[in-house]
Structure 1
Amino acid sequence: MDTAKISQCPEVTVKCFLLSMFQSAIAQQGTLAQIPLNPIGGSLFKNRQDACSTKSEFDCGVGILPAHNKLIEKGAIFPLNRSKDSARVLYVSAIALKLAKTWQQTPQTIAAELAETLEPLCYPDFAVKVAPGGMIEMELTDAGLAVWLQRLAQTNLPVSGSKILDSVVCADRLFPIQYSHARCCSLLRMAHRDRIIAIAQPDVTTAPEIWSLASPNPIPWIDEGDRLRLVHPAERRLISQLLTVLDNLYPTFEVKNREKPVNYFKLANSLSEAFQIFYSQCRIWGEVKIEQPKLAQARLGLIFATQSLLRFILENLFNALAPLEL
């Protein structure tokens, strides 16, 4: 598997992908004791699926280092966090500080070694940088973000064997989230009718859970200068919220006993609010449709992604209806 292409990776979230890459990088540095390394490329795992599929070896959602790692205490939480800057998709890790005592090197030196190993694993999807103090920064590039958005817009999220319901939420409190979902569906049908996009099955009575986009496919996220078209603050805020929900959502299928329970209603509500702000500030029809049709399509791609995630939350976490129209 080409480790430079996140389009081929099995991970559901950006954070999960990065955790698997860190795991491979640490393995290549020889930090995992008593475990034979794969002679091909020196990686502990044959591919990303191996890195993320076995809970006993590495918990993708939370970032728990493997129990057999002799150099880090059992059950240690892998330090990897998103930056609060919604204009960037930036993850920061202090793993070099955690390893400094064991490796008997400065955090800056360890961070430089890990970054050198991580860079070819993550290129061209992430830009890897060592910040002062030994912090490792990994920023999702525009190309990588486009791939992730495309996957979210057109791929079903995995569902666990047993439904995981959040705490009971009053139906009235769910209405704004249901309204946002229905609004997404309405906008997508309108765009299909106006031939901005083409949906395979737009009819409400036959529409699948994830609407299949016939054209354009893929969505034109990237412009001619290889930059993401979506640069408006409201667009970036919605993208940031989509990734935040995903990073908090996927562990529900991997970890039954989390130290910090996730408030899924709050997350869903924040996503709904971000969508409403996006829709009120970022036009799709009118001049945008005529003069910048690819920008209109990219914004509709964001609506596809939002609809997909809101539907999943409503149906699988709240056992509630995700209405296609209101």
Structure 2
Amino acid sequence: MKFISPSLNIQTEISNSIDLVFQTSLDPSEIPINICYPKYDAHYTSPIALAISNQLGIDALSIAEAIVKECSQTQNPKIASQWQIKVFGKGWLNICLSEQYMLSNIKILEDLIIEGIEYFQGFWVKSHIAMNDSKLPEPIQQYAYARCCALIRLAYRENLIPYEYQSEIINSSITTNQRFTDPHEISLYMRNLAIVEFLDLDNKISLVPNTPKFRSKLSRSLATSFLEFYDQCRIFGVNREIAFKRLSLIRITQKLMLAIAPSEINYSMYL
């Protein structure tokens, strides 16, 4: 299955709704959308209603309510099964992804092929590293990445996952009948999702600024989220389906920490 950005999907629907209701054309990339989980009871939030309130001469709450109503009326069943939108506060839009949609995306993220990253002897590795120019990552990324590798290595040793990468075996144990059993699972999922969207694998117009500073911020956020997950979510001695789901999140994190790192950053010593 192909990865389709939830953010772009949501931005497109909101953009279409604003055009239909207020006859105001906005490109989807002009719709601000930010991860707000776990701070709020939603996965994404958007202040677009507040942003265009002065332009339209309408209070933000009325704009937000109109957007939600239009989205709810025009959404096709497939989109409605993926996410829901509601008004929060004085005009914010909060978006909640469905658990089934998030679980199905874990399978896609696990299989995602990223240029410059390949699977080798049980781990994702960079295809090429300029050793003369290589640098160590920041301490928090070093520790998070080392923990990822240690957990994956232990899972192989305990025969919890096959040494050779076989996504059909891994993914067959992640069913959409499952639930996320800990908020730290969702937080780690959302941080990985943000990096995939940042990498802009389909070569669309990026939805976020592609700058070293923002890249570093995403990398630190992923490392922080992983370490919180590592502290709170057991991998061993739990239900096998839960273990597989959490190991998939760890393997995705290991891959995307490599993908988000600048080319000169060398993680190979932690394998």
TM-score, normalised with respect to structure 1: 0.61
2:250 aligned partner, one-letter code: I
Do residues 139 (structure 1) and 89 (structure 2) align? no
Q: Cα RMSD over matched residues?
A: 3.8
Q: 1:306 aligns to what?
A: 253
Q: 1:320 aligns to what?
A: 265
Q: 1:228 aligns to what?
A: 180
TM-aligned CA deviation for residue 117 of structure 1:
2.6
The answer (yes or no) to whether the contact 1:100–1:107 under 8 Å persists in 2 is yes
Do residues 262 (structure 1) and 213 (structure 2) align? yes
What CA deviation, in whole Å up to 9, does each residue of 1:223-279 have, x standing for no partner? 55xx323x1x5434433433444455549x746995986343343234224323423
Where do 5+ consecutive residues of structure 2 fail to align? 117-132
Larger Rg belongs to: 1
Q: 2:235 aligns to what?
A: 284
Q: 1:215 aligns to what?
A: 169
Pairing of 1:1-326 with structure 2 (within 5 A): 10-11=4-5, 14-29=6-21, 31-32=23-24, 58=27, 63-64=29-30, 78-83=31-36, 85-86=38-39, 88-101=41-54, 103=56, 105-119=58-72, 120-121=75-76, 122-157=79-114, 171-174=135-138, 177-178=141-142, 180-181=144-145, 183-198=147-162, 202=164, 211-220=165-174, 222-223=176-177, 227-229=179-181, 231=182, 233-246=183-196, 248-250=198-200, 254=205, 258=209, 262-285=213-236, 287-288=237-238, 292-314=239-261, 317-323=262-268, 325-326=270-271
The answer (yes or no) to whether the contact 2:198–2:206 under 8 Å persists in 1 is no
Q: Distance in 1 between matches of 2:177 and 2:244?
A: 12
TM-score, normalised with respect to structure 2: 0.71
The answer (yes or no) to whether the contact 2:136–2:265 under 8 Å persists in 1 is no
- Call closer, same or farther: CA 1:272–1:170 in 2, change over 3 Å: farther
Report the 3-state secondary structure (helix = DSSP H, G, I; strand = E; otherwise coil) of the residue aligned with 1:92.
Answer: strand
What CA deviation, in whole Å up to 9, does each residue of 1:97-130 have, x standing for no partner? 3444555544333322321232325311212112
- Call closer, same or farther: CA 1:116–1:154 in 2, change over 3 Å: same
Q: Distance in 2 between matches of 1:275 and 1:176?
A: 10
Report the 3-state secondary structure (helix = DSSP H, G, I; strand = E; otherwise coil) of the residue aligned with 1:198.
Answer: coil
User: Percent of aligned positions with the same letter in both sequences?
Assistant: 22
The answer (yes or no) to whether the contact 1:150–1:219 under 8 Å persists in 2 is no
TM-aligned CA deviation for residue 303 of structure 1:
0.6
Aligned residues: 249
Q: 2:120 aligns to what?
A: none
- Call closer, same or farther: CA 1:219–1:18 in 2, change over 3 Å: farther
Q: Distance in 1 between matches of 2:167 and 2:43?
A: 29
Q: Distance in 1 between matches of 2:138 and 2:145?
A: 11
- Call closer, same or farther: CA 1:301–1:95 in 2, change over 3 Å: same
TM-aligned CA deviation for residue 135 of structure 1:
2.4
Where do 5+ consecutive residues of structure 1 fail to align? 1-6, 34-56, 65-77, 160-168, 203-210
TM-aligned CA deviation for residue 309 of structure 1:
0.7
